[in-house]
Amino acid sequence: MATMNISLPDTMKEWAESQTNSGRYGNISDYMRDLIRRDQDHRHAIVEALIEGENSGESSLSVSDIWQQVQQEN
C-alpha cells in the first residue's frame, strides 16, 4: 500500500480526527479511504446518468417545460 502525506487546515484536521474518535473509523487513513471510495462511487453514478441521458434520445420538450416538470416534482 502506498503512503501519501497531505496538508489540511486545522479545522479539517480536527474534523478528521473527530471522525476517528467517534469509533466509526479505526484511524484517519480508514476515513480518507472511505471518502475516496464515496467520491469514486458518486462520480461513477454521474457518468452513468449522463450516458443514460445521452442514450435516451432527443426531447420534444422545451427547457421551460422540463423546468416546470422538475419544479412540480419537488
pTM of the shown model: 0.68
The whole-angstrom separation of Cα 52 and Cα 69 is: 19
Print pLDDT tens along the chain (74 aa).
899 999 999 999 999 999 999 999 999 999 999 999 999 999 999 999 999 999 999 989 999 999 999 999 87
